Structure 1
Amino acid sequence: MDYHNFHGKNIPHIEVNPDMKIDDLVEIYASSGYNARQLGEAAKLFRKMIEDDATICLTIAGAMTPVGFGGLFKALIEKGFVDWIISTGSNLYHEDHFAWNLPVKQGHFEVDDMILYQKDIVRIRDVYIKGEETLKKQDTIVQKMFENNLFEKPFTTAEFANWMGKYSKEHSTHPERSFVVSAYDYDVPLYISTLKDSSLALDLAPLRLANKPFSVDFVREIIEQAAILYNSKKAGIVEIGGGVPKNTAQQTGPLLDQILGLGHGGQNYIIQITDARPDTGGLSGATLQEGKSWGKVKDSHEDVIVVYADATIAFPVLCLYALSMEGPRKPKRLYKKLDQYYQNLSETYFSKAKK
C-alpha cells in the first residue's frame, strides 16, 4: 500500500462519555495516532484472527503471572481464543502459587533490597513473594509432581506442562486459579521455551541427584510446533514481550521452508506488545516486517502490528475487546492432535524428498 499521499481517515476531536464501552474505547484508539492507534488496530486484528478461525498461538515473556495475568490467559483459553501457548518457565512456576494459595502481595519498588533479603522477601519490581512461605513450598510441590513422572524417557515441554496442569487440577486447593490447569482441560499445548532457565528446572535438580534423569526432546517439540502451523488453514501469534517465546513461535516458518523445503511461508498474522527497541539488533525488538525476510510471516505489509507499550497496560484492552465482541469458538484441542500432526509432516517431508 502506498502511504505517500494525503489521504486516510480524519483525526477526530475525541469525546468520551460515561456510557462508553470497550469497543468505543478501541475505536478511539484506532482513530487516533501513535501507539494508541497501534493498540486499537491490534485489538481489531486479534478479532479478525478469531473470526477467520485462525490457529492462534499466545507467547508469554516477562513476569506476567506474578501480577495476576494468568486469569486473562485462562479466560482466552476457555473462550477458545488461544489454541496453543509458548511461555517462559517462570510464568508457569509463579502461576502455580495462585492454584496452591501461596501468598503473593503488592509491595513497592522504592525499597532497600538488603532489608527485604533479611526479611525473606523477594521482589519482582513492586510484587512481593515470600521465600519460605511461597517459593520453598512451591519447590516442594514441583518436586512432588515429578518425583515419579517423566524421567524414564525423553519428553516435550508440552508433556511437562500438561502433567503440571493435571497434577494441579487434582491436588491443588484452587485449580480454578491456574491457566495451566485450563490448558490441560482444553487440550491446549503449552510449551516452555526456557525450561532450564527457570525454577521448574531447578526443582528437578534434587531428583536428578537421586539418579532420576530428565531429558527434553527439544527437536520433537520444534517439529510439533511447525506441524501445528503446517496443519492450520490460517495461523497467527499474539506476542507478549519478545525473547525466546517470540522466536520459538516465529521460527516455525523457517523450519518448514528453509530446513524442510515445504514452501509454507509462515504466519498469516502477528501482534506483538513490546517495549524493546528495534535498532539494537535483538530479536525482542526486531520488527515483524523484518521477519518476512526469514519467511516467518506471509506478508510484511498487512496483518502485522507492533504495539510499543507496557504489556500490563495494553494486553487487558486486547483481551476485553475480544471477550466482549466475540462469541466462544469451539476448542481445537491441539494437544490430542500433536502425534497425528507430527506424522503428517513427516510423511509430507519424506514424500517430497523422494521427488
Structure 2
Amino acid sequence: MFNNSKYWLRYTFGFAQIEIENWMTSEVLSSALPLIYIATKYFSNLRTFKYDNIIFGIFSIQDFPKMSQKPGKKIAPIPMSNNVSVVDLIDTYFTAYNSARLREACQLLTKEVFQEGVTVGVSLSGAMTPAGFGVSALAPLIRNGFIDWMICTGANLYHDMHYGLGFELFAGSPFLDDVKLREEGTIRIYDIIFGYDVLLETDAFIRKVLQAEPFQKRMGTAEFHHLLGKCVWEIEQQLGVKNSCLLATAYECGVPIYTSSPGDSSIGMNVAALALEGSKLVIDPSIDVNETAAIVYGARENDGTSAAVIIGGGSPKNFLLQTQPQLHEVLGLEERGHDFFIQFTDARPDTGGLSGATPAEAVSWGKIDPDELPSAIVCYTDSTIALPLVTAYTLNQCPPRPLKRLYDGREALLDTLQKDYLAVKDKPVSEGSQEKAATYPCGTPVKG
C-alpha cells in the first residue's frame, strides 16, 4: 500500500492520521516507521480505515494517559448562562492558557494559601493604586486576614494616599494631547487623569506630618508607613471617607508595608526635601532587610509555611523573594525557600530581568522550595485584570482569617532571628563548615 508514496503521521488528541501522496517516492517510508511503531505500541487498540487515499488510525481515549504521566481534567465546554457568578466563571470557563493559570491561582490561593498556618507576603508593582485597586481589592484582602505583610513601590503608596485624603481621580483616555494637559495642569497615568494640585496637596500633607516628633529618628519603611498610615486614617475619619485606602487599612490591621526603594517615589522625594531643612528622619534599608527576613524565618514556627504572592514584578518581587537567600546564604540559617509562589505578570522570562524570572529559576537561588515547584504558578496577564478577579473569588470562597498583626510582632521576630544568627555565627569554624557541607544553600540535603 505504501509503495511509491510519501506519507506523514500526525497525532492529535484521540486521533492519528497517515496521509498518502501517491506522486512521491517511497524512500522516505523508513523515516516514518518509528512513528508507526509508537502508534502501535502505545495505542494497543489502534483501528485503521481508508478514505479518499487517506489511512486513518483511531485509538481509544483510554490509551491517551500512556502518553502523559499526568493527564488533566477533560475540557467539557457548556454554554454560558446570563447569571454566571465570578466563581463559576473562573472554575467553569477559564479552561486553558492564561485563563487556566488564573483559575489555578485562584484555587491554590483559596484552598491552600489563605489557610491557617500560612504567612502570606504580597509584593505590588505597577500603577495599581491610581486605578483604585488599593481601596477596592487590596484593602478587603487585608481586612479579611489574607495579606499578612506587603512590599510595595513608593509610587503605589503615594497615589493610594490621594483617595485617603479625599482627592479625586478620573477615567480619561490614553490618547489625550499631553502638551495641552500640561498647559491645563492635568496629570495623566495612561487613561487616568487628575489635577496637578492633587500632587501638590499630597506633597504638602506629607511634609507637614513628617515634621512631627515620631518621625524624627532612624527607622525602617514598615514603621514609617505605619506612622504615615495613622495620619491618613485620622484624615479619613475627619473627612468621613467611607472606604479606607491601602495605607490606612494596613495601619488599622497591623499589616507591615515595606518599600524596597524608598527614595524612588514622591514620598521619598519629600523625605529628601526635609533632609535639606535639617530633618532627623532617616530611612534605613538594613532594618527592612532584617525585618522581612525575620518575618519569613518566623513563618516556620509551629510547622507554618510561607507564601509569596507577586503582583507585577520589579524590585518589590525581588525584595520579597530575597528573604530566603538572606537567611541561608548570608546569615547561614537553615531554610528551604518559600513554600508557595504565585505571580501575575506580563513580563517575559527570556530577557533576563527579575520581573519575568520563573519560579524554576528562583529554585536555583534557594528562593523557592524545590519540592513545591510543581505547584508554583505564573499567570501571564495584566495585573489589573487578575487582581479584582482573585479578590472577588477569594472573598466568595474563603472565610476570613484572624489578623496576624505582624507589625506589632516585628521586634520579637527580629530578636529571634538575631539570636539564632549569632548562635550560628559564633560556632567553631570546623563545626560550622561540617554542617554547611551537608546541604545545598537552599537547605536541600546533599546526596552522596
TM-score by length of 1: 0.95
SS at match of 2:341: strand
CA contact (8 A) 1:83 1:334 kept: yes
SS at match of 1:236: strand
1:237 match: 308
Q: By how many angstroms is 1:171 displaced?
A: 2.6
CA contact (8 A) 1:28 1:40 kept: no
SS at match of 2:407: helix
| Unaligned ranges ≥5, structure 1 | none
Q: By how many angstroms is 1:138 displaced?
A: 0.6
CA contact (8 A) 1:29 1:39 kept: no
Of the three residues 109, 121, 126, the one matched with 1:57 is 121
Corresponding letter in the other structure for 1:275: D
Please give the alpha-carbon distance, in whole angstroms, between the structure 2 residues aligned to 1:75 and 1:82: 9
Please give the alpha-carbon distance, in whole angstroms, between the structure 2 residues aligned to 1:247 and 1:76: 22
Of the three residues 142, 159, 180, the one matched with 2:223 is 159
CA contact (8 A) 1:150 1:160 kept: no
CA contact (8 A) 1:79 1:329 kept: yes
| 2:386 corresponds to 1:323 | no
Q: By how many angstroms is 1:22 displaced?
A: 2.0
Q: Output one character per residue of 1:328-349: Cα deviation in whole Å (capped at 9) or x when no partner.
A: 1100000010000000011111
1:210 match: 277
| Unaligned ranges ≥5, structure 2 | 1-65, 428-448
Please give the alpha-carbon distance, in whole angstroms, between the structure 2 residues aligned to 1:37 and 1:226: 33
Please give the alpha-carbon distance, in whole angstroms, between the structure 2 residues aligned to 1:205 and 1:131: 21
Please give the alpha-carbon distance, in whole angstroms, between the structure 2 residues aligned to 1:38 and 1:56: 20
Corresponding letter in the other structure for 1:229: V
| 2:369 corresponds to 1:298 | yes
SS at match of 1:323: helix
1:97 match: 162
1:186 match: 253
1:114 match: 179
SS at match of 1:302: helix
Q: By how many angstroms is 1:33 displaced?
A: 1.1
Q: CA RMSD in A?
A: 1.7
Q: 1 or 2 for the larger relative contact order (CA 8 Å, sep ≥6)?
A: 1
Q: By how many angstroms is 1:6 displaced?
A: 7.3
Residue correspondence of structure 1 range 116-135 to structure 2 within 5 A: 116-132=181-197, 134-135=198-199
Please give the alpha-carbon distance, in whole angstroms, between the structure 2 residues aligned to 1:328 and 1:151: 33
Q: By how many angstroms is 1:142 displaced?
A: 0.6
2:351 match: 280
Please give the alpha-carbon distance, in whole angstroms, between the structure 2 residues aligned to 1:203 and 1:219: 21
Please give the alpha-carbon distance, in whole angstroms, between the structure 2 residues aligned to 1:342 and 1:41: 34
Corresponding letter in the other structure for 2:409: K
Corresponding letter in the other structure for 1:338: R
* Number of corresponding residues: 352
Please give the alpha-carbon distance, in whole angstroms, between the structure 1 residues aligned to 2:331 and 2:365: 14
2:405 match: 333
Corresponding letter in the other structure for 2:98: N
Corresponding letter in the other structure for 2:171: Q
Q: Output one character per residue of 1:32-88: Cα deviation in whole Å (capped at 9) or x when no partner.
A: 110010000000111120124311111110110100001211100100000001000
Q: By how many angstroms is 1:117 displaced?
A: 0.5
| 2:159 corresponds to 1:87 | no
Corresponding letter in the other structure for 2:134: G
Q: By how many angstroms is 1:152 displaced?
A: 3.4
Please give the alpha-carbon distance, in whole angstroms, between the structure 2 residues aligned to 1:27 and 1:195: 39
Q: Which of 1 and 2 has greater Rg?
A: 2
1:225 match: 292
Please give the alpha-carbon distance, in whole angstroms, between the structure 1 residues aligned to 2:70 and 2:159: 50
CA contact (8 A) 2:232 2:248 kept: yes
Q: By how many angstroms is 1:289 displaced?
A: 1.5
Please give the alpha-carbon distance, in whole angstroms, between the structure 2 residues aligned to 1:121 and 1:263: 52
SS at match of 1:332: coil
Taking only the aligned residue pairs, the percentage that are identical comes to 37
Of the three residues 321, 340, 362, the one matched with 1:269 is 340
CA contact (8 A) 2:121 2:150 kept: yes
Q: By how many angstroms is 1:158 displaced?
A: 0.4
Of the three residues 385, 397, 400, the one matched with 1:313 is 385
Please give the alpha-carbon distance, in whole angstroms, between the structure 2 residues aligned to 1:313 and 1:281: 25
Q: By how many angstroms is 1:352 displaced?
A: 2.1
Residue correspondence of structure 1 range 18-97 to structure 2 within 5 A: 18-29=82-93, 32-47=95-110, 48-71=112-135, 72-97=137-162
Q: 1:29 to 1:349 in 2, by over 3 A?
A: farther
1:8 match: 72
Q: Which runs of 4+ in 1 moved over 3 A?
A: 2-6, 149-152
CA contact (8 A) 1:56 1:235 kept: yes
CA contact (8 A) 1:150 1:214 kept: no
TM-score by length of 2: 0.76
